[in-house]
Amino acid sequence: MKFDDTKILISDDSILARKQLKDILSQFGTPTFLEAANGQDAIDIYKKESPSLVFLDIVMPIKDGNAVIHEITDFDPDATIIIVSSVGTQSQLREAIEAGASDFIQKPINADQIEHIITSRFEGR
Cis peptide before 108 (omega within 30 of 0): yes
Contact 39, 65 (CB under 8 A): yes
Hey, what CATH class is 3-121 in? Answer: alpha beta
Measured distance CA(24)–CA(120) in Å, rounded: 16
At 41-60, the pLDDT tens digits run 999 999 999 999 999 999 89
**Domain regions of the chain by residue span:** 3-121
pTM for the whole structure: 0.92
- The pLDDT tens digits of the residues spanning 67-115 come to 999 999 999 999 999 999 886 667 878 888 898 999 888 888 889 989 9
- The CA distances from residue 36 to 48, 61, 65, 117, in Å, are 13, 11, 12, 20
